[in-house]
Structures are given as structure tokens and as C-alpha cells.
Amino acid sequence: MIYADNAATTKLSPTSLAAMLPYLTEHYGNPSSLHSIGQDAAEALARARQTVADCLGCRPDEIYFTSGGSEADNQAILSAARNGAAHGKRHIISTAFEHHAVLHTLQKLGREGFEVTLLDVHENGVITPQEVADAIREDTCLVTIMYANNEIGSIQPIPEIGALCKEKKIPFHTDAVQAAGHLAINVKEQNIDMLSLSGHKFHGPKGTGVLYARKGLLLHNLIEGGAQERRKRAGTENIAGIVGLAAALEEACAHLEENAAKVTALRDKLIDGLSAIPHSVLNGDRTRRLPGNVNFCFEGIEGESMLLLLDDKGICASSGSACTSGSLDPSHVLLAIGRPHEIAHGSLRLSLSEYNTEEEINAILEAVPQVVDYLRNMSPLWRAMEKGEKPYVIQ
Ligand SMILES: *Cc1c(COP(=O)(O)O)cnc(C)c1O
């Protein structure tokens, strides 16, 4: 199989697996135990925290391990909201194309009386710092804007947005789940107060994540219990997972430039090749995009059908439609960048990693046009467009 769904999750790296194994076998201690088996685990935890801090450019006591990106997003946003409410500030700024871990948390706050401004995104999927500046009010208690989009790969001007939030003394959170391990991040240089990342998006294990929170920012617990994670996240630590996350992040950061160069070349070859399909359009900015992200809409096609046919041909891809959740709603991201409903249904996301090869790209470039042709030939709608009875949406 050709795996081109790395935005959904990635293959565990051998380095990460090797780092984890001892903590699933002989080093099974609880870091809270005072005996030596427990202290082995406590030392591994401390080393992992230092590694992650080094990769992000912060202090180890600013790192909180979580069960994943979703938990980190929830905790960051709810903490800032509570801190704001304590000072009578109940306005939050975000974008219309965030991950649901952010959007649904904001919706919950909306029901609790917070006012949420979701900035519209441009067709290229990028917002400007000025648009954030214009939305800031006296009672704004949080700006949360994703680093890079999981569907269309567009990268936001994070350091600039961070700088203006810093100037206005408004906490700035970024969901960097798609960016961490793929783009150079330094939370201090980039003016980031809180950042979420997830182990399984950079070849680490699933169910592991990190919340970075600048020292001095008050976090509120989602989970009460023991004193783990400096009392901010109770529960016996997932030591093997944490060690695996740190090893994967360290590996990704050590090879960041070479991986980005390799994956960007594969991406561009794929984009150039697929652009030749008539009545297709690339989603997301052509250059301000994640190294591994390719996302197209094809006129006259259902994303789900395309995925099943590609799977038959040995290619794992994804569509904007939330087919996995059983819903046929078109992607909120594609709607946010202004794609009409009928087009948003026909999207294809191919997300690459350094494990992909040029031969695989060639195979994808052969398969996708065949699948598109096959589906279009079966579609009455497409035939009507070909006969000129109905206009094409994508010229
Ligand atoms: C995958 C993802 C998440 C969720 O991370 P989990 O570790 O799966 O909970 C959040 N935000 C973005 C942008 C993602 O791509």
C-alpha cells in the first residue's frame, strides 16, 4: 500500500519504537514511586521533557504532557477563557477553519456566554495579522489560531500574530499539531504563549501530546487527581508514550530541513501533475503550505467514491468530507475558503511524509486521473456539463 494520509496519522518511526520498548517492559515503574524502579521512570520523564523543551525553545517546566493534541487544545483554550472571565473578559478570536478540537471547545464557550469571533479566511487559506489586529477588543482574553491547516496545509503568519498579541497583552495559543516536527518552531522567538502538539503526527505514538504554556500563564485542570505534571494534569504518566513522543520529535527536528526539502519536492511534483486534470483546483496557498500537503477539488466527483477506488489501487488518501464520522457534510475548511458545496464534496487530500518515495508519487499520478475519469464518466451531472447544459463551477 502507498500511505498518503500522513495528516491523519503517521507510521511510528523505528527510533521512537526502540525508545519506547524498554518502558513497556523492564522499566515499568511509576515516576511517583520513591524506589529505584520508579525513579528510573521519573528520570526518563525528565529527559523527555527536556528534549521537547529543547525542540520548542522553551524551559522544561513549561511543558505539560497530555493524551494528545485534542486535550492540549481543550486545556489551553478553557484555561485562557477562565482566566479572562475572572477579569470580566469574555471575547475570543479564532478562525473559521480550525480543527474541531478548537472549534467545538469554542462552541462550548459560546454557549457559556463567551463571544467568539471566527475570522474569515481568504481563498488561499491564510489570514493576515492586520485582520487579527482589527478584531481585538478591550475584552479579548484569547487569540487561538492554528499554525498550519490539517486539510489544506496553509501556514499562518504565527510570529507576526504572536507579536501583536504580545503588544496587546492577550494570550496567544496556536494549534501546531500539523506543524510540529515539520516546520521550525521556537515559541519564544515566535511570541507563542501556548502551543499544542501531538505525537502521532510526526511518527510518534498515538495518544500522546504536549501543551506548552509560557511560565506565568495559569492553567486550569481538565483532569483532577494526583500531583502529576506540576498538578495541572492528573493521572499516572504514559511513560512509554512520552518517551516515544520525545524521541520522534527529536528525530524530526534533527532532520527537519532535509525532510522538508525531500517532501516538498514530492509534493510539488504531485501538485504539478494533478493540476493537469481539467476542471480541478488546488486548495490552499501554493507556497505557504506544509511540505507534505496536497489538496485538490475535482469537478463532478464525490470524494468518498474517489477514496474507495484509490484504496482498491493500493493508495490511502483522504477527502475533506467527514466520511469517517458518518456525516456527508462537506469540509468546514473548504467552505471557509469559499468553495461551493458541490465542489467541496469532490476533494482529495494526499498528505506525504519522508517515508514516501518518488515511485509512489508516480503511481499516484497514474492512478488519480484514471479514477477521476472513471467517476466523471459515470456521473450524469458531469455529462450535462460536458454537453454545455450546465456550467462548470471550476473552469
Ligand atoms: C490531529 C489534529 C489534532 C488532534 O490531535 P490528537 O492527538 O489526534 O488528539 C488537533 N489539531 C490538528 C490541526 C490536528 O491535525
Alpha-carbon span 13 to 251, nearest angstrom: 9
Ligand 1 centroid distance, CA of 9 (Å): 9
> Is 323 a known active-site residue?
yes
- For a mutational test of ligand 1's pocket, the pick from 175, 203, 245, i.e. the residue with the most ligand atoms closer than 8 A to its C-beta, is 175
Is the sign of the CA dihedral 212, 177, 74, 160 positive or negative?
Answer: positive
- Left, alpha or beta for 177 (phi > 0: left; psi -120 to 50: alpha)? alpha
Name the closest-CA residue to atom 6, ligand 1.
Answer: 69
Ligand 1 mean position to 368 CA, how many Å?
Answer: 27
Per-residue confidence (pLDDT) for residue 188, from 0 to 100: 98
Chain mean pLDDT for the chain: 95
Residue 349's DSSP bridge partners are 295, 318
| Integer CA distances (angstroms), 358 to 21, 78, 216, 353, 364, in order | 32, 43, 47, 12, 10
Determine if ligand 1 sits within 6 Å of the CB of residue 191.
no
First vs last Cα of the chain: how many Å apart? 33
pLDDT of 18 over the 90 cut: yes
For ligand 1, whether the C-beta of 68 sits within 6 Å is yes
| Cβ proximity of 74 and 223 under 8 Å | no
Query: Would you say 78 and 86 are in contact if contact means Cβ atoms under 8 Å apart?
Result: no
Name residue 211's beta-bridge partners: 64, 196
| 279 CA to centre of ligand 1 in angstroms | 31
Longest dimension (CA), the chain: 78
In angstroms, what is the span from residue 377 Cα to ligand 1's centroid?
36
* Any ligand 1 atom below 6 A from CB of 52: no
Among protein residues, the one whose CA lies closest to atom 5 of ligand 1: 69
At 325 the pLDDT is 43
Q: Which atom of ligand 1 is nearest to the CA of 68?
A: 7
Calculate how far, in angstroms, residue 67's C-alpha sits from the geometric centre of ligand 1: 11
How far apart are alpha carbons 106 and 118 in whole angstroms?
10
3-state secondary structure of 316: strand
Ligand 1 neighbour 195 (Cβ under 6 A): no
Who has greater pLDDT, 219 or 301?
219
* Active-site residue, from 55, 165, 297, 323: 323
Could you tell me if the CB of 241 is within 6 A of ligand 1?
Answer: no
Mean pLDDT within 54-80: 98
Which pairs from 257-260 meet CB under 8 Å and 24+ separation?
259/182, 259/291, 259/353, 259/354, 260/182, 260/183, 260/291
How many angstroms separate the Cα of 144 from the Cα of each of 76, 187, 295, 365? 9, 14, 24, 37
**Residues sharing a CB contact under 8 Å with residue 388, sequence separation 6 or more, in sequence order:** none
What beta strand segments (E) does 131-257 contain?
A: 140-144, 172-175, 194-198, 209-213
Question: In angstroms, rounded to a whole number, what is the distance separating the alpha carbons of residues 69 and 177?
Answer: 6
Amino acid making up residue 368: V
Pocket probe for ligand 1: among 105, 177, 332, 349, the residue whose CB has the most ligand atoms within 8 Å is 177
Stretch 235-260: mean pLDDT = 98
| 99 close to ligand 1 (CB < 6 Angstrom) | yes
Specify the length of the chain in residues: 395
| % of the chain beyond a pLDDT of 90 | 91
pLDDT for the residue 346: 85
Whether the CB-CB separation of 240 and 20 falls below 8 Å is answered with yes
Average pLDDT over residues 125-139: 97
Residue (of 23, 39, 22) closest to 31 by Cα position: 39
Q: Hey, which of 67, 95, 146, 201 would you mutate to test ligand 1's pocket, going by the most ligand atoms within 8 Å of its Cβ?
A: 201
DSSP 229: H
Q: Which of 131-145, 190-204, 378-392 has the lowest mean pLDDT?
A: 378-392
Q: Which amino acid is at 25?
A: T
CA of 70 to the centre of ligand 1 (A): 6
Q: Is the pLDDT of residue 331 over 60?
A: yes
Q: What are 333-387's pLDDT values in tens digits? A: 999 998 988 888 889 999 999 999 999 999 999 999 999 999 999 999 899 999 9
Banded model confidence at residue 328, pLDDT cuts 50, 70, 90:
low
Residue 93 has pLDDT above 50, yes or no: yes
325 φ/ψ angles, rounded to the nearest 5 degrees = -85, 5
Q: Quote the CA–CA distance of 187 and 55 in Å, as a whole number.
A: 10
In angstroms, what is the span from residue 178 Cα to ligand 1's centroid?
A: 7
Q: Which amino acid is at 30?
A: N
What pLDDT sits at residue 351?
Answer: 98
Closest atom of ligand 1 to CA, residue 8: 1
Does the CB atom of residue 58 touch ligand 1 within 6 A?
A: no
Q: Which pTM does this prediction carry?
A: 0.97
pLDDT the model gives residue 323: 43
Residues 267, 51 contacting (CB under 8 angstroms): no
Q: How confident is the model at residue 395 (pLDDT cuts 50, 70, 90)?
A: confident
326: left (phi over 0), alpha (psi -120 to 50) or beta: left
Burial of 189 (0-12, 13-18, 19+ CB in 10 A): exposed
pLDDT more than 70, % of the chain: 98
